[in-house]
Amino acid sequence: MKRQVLVSLCKSFILYGAPCHRIEQSLDQAAHMLGLEATFFFIPGIMMICFGDLEPRTLLVRCPQGFDMGKLAQVITVANDLCKEERRVTIQECIDRLDCIARSSPTWSPWAVVLAHACASLLTTPVMFNGSWMDTAASGALGLMVGTLALVAEKYASYCNIFEISTAILVAFVTKALDPWVCFTGVTLSATATLLPGYILTMAIMELSAKHVITGTIRFVYALIYALFIGYGLEIGTSIYDAVDPSSSPTDFDTCISTMPHWLYIVMFPFVAISMATTLGATMDQWPSMICCSAIGFGTTMITSKVITNYQIVGTISAFSVGLFGNLYLKVTGDLALVPLSCGIVLLVPGSVGIQGAYYLIRQDDQGTSFAIQMVVASLGIAVGLFTATLLVYPKGKRQRVYLSY
């Protein structure tokens, strides 16, 4: 029964979005509290559990990785109840609670997530890329298309294999057709905002920093290939339109020019955070902390970028402020630190830089290599900022509770 609860915890951590470099640590703590000798080894999608007590046994737990912050918070509550020195719940009760969480419906319905995709794309254009009203409308429509195709990809495995490339082709083709009226940079990158690989790359850098070499390397390579997928799709989409309309202007990632009043960005930003939070499966009760964390990170970026021109330093300072908020939030409220941090980091990561780099690389442009290096360096700065914040708040680690953060 003790082994069964560890396996259930393992599946829940992977399925609901726990950072990979924290899963092994959390399971080690749970095994210690249960009095089990167990070793854990994680690679993306699979956890190997080796039990070394009276009945040695090795288990392979295969589980797809996903995001559902609402369910993850419930799982952490169960894990903390299990790991208390004076445990008031039985192991069977913990197993039943974990099974109940697994059987329950996702925090948000598929169509709510599709709508969140559309809202995230629509609002990201003016807030992140300085887009105009026309750019915002086009991004919202394309974001709705991307969200719908993502839903189709979940239901049909055959389409899932070409989802990223086909989506990028459609987005690039439509945006290129609207090129006289919209900004190509803002519309394409906002429409694919929820697909950008910056978050994956940042996690890879953090795993490598935490000495999880195999997992970090796999994720690092995957993030770069993923960026090439989307960059390739954007290049194919624009090339197809150029073949249809040879008189079209050359495609480039230029800075968008907006006529929107700047105060409107302040009004829009909370809804950007809410849209991103919904795609991550956060409940309404978790929204306020995620909005605050995102606002702190974004505000720090805006302020420091006016003074410091080095984007690596700006990213590190912003990530440090986000990490500091998340860990202090855990210290004060006792709630899961990962919840506000996940949204704050998603809005910080430089995935758009990687897509631009992949696009230029495929076009055999000299800018491609420099953009790819920028994405890696910026992700490294974010990882350093997060680790530093955790060290400052919890220099000796968090031993009384299962700690899930970055």
**pLDDT interval class at 369 (50, 70, 90):** low
What's the confidence (pLDDT) of residue 190? 82
With cut-offs at 50, 70 and 90, classify the pLDDT of residue 374. Answer: low
Residue 365 · residue 253 · CB < 8 Å: no
Assigned token pair, 268: 């829009």
354, 406, 376, 378: which is closest to 206 by C-alpha?
406
Looking at residue 254, the DSSP 8-state letter turns out to be: P
Q: Is 334:328 a contact under the CB 8 Å cutoff?
A: no
CA distance 268 to 126: 9
- Residue 40's DSSP bridge partners are 49
Closest to 85 measured CA to CA, from 32, 37, 36: 32
Q: What is the pLDDT of residue 227?
A: 76
Q: Which residue has the higher pLDDT, 404 or 271?
A: 271
The SS3 assignment for 39 reads strand
Using DSSP's 3-state secondary structure scheme, residue 281 falls into coil
Per-residue pLDDT, averaged over 91-119, amounts to 87
What single letter denotes the amino acid at residue 117? H
CB atoms within 10 A of CB 401: 16
Q: Which structure tokens are listed for 229?
A: 């997928």
Mean pLDDT of 293-311: 83
SS3 state at 42: strand
**pLDDT higher than 50, residue 351:** no
Position 133 scores a pLDDT of: 86
What is the per-residue pLDDT for 264? 83
Q: Kindly state the tokens that stand for 263.
A: 């105060």
Tell me the two tokens of residue 275: 């849209």
Q: Among 69-78, 188-197, 350-359, which is the least confidently predicted range?
A: 350-359
CA within 13 Å, CB half, 153? 15
Q: What does pTM read for this prediction? A: 0.82
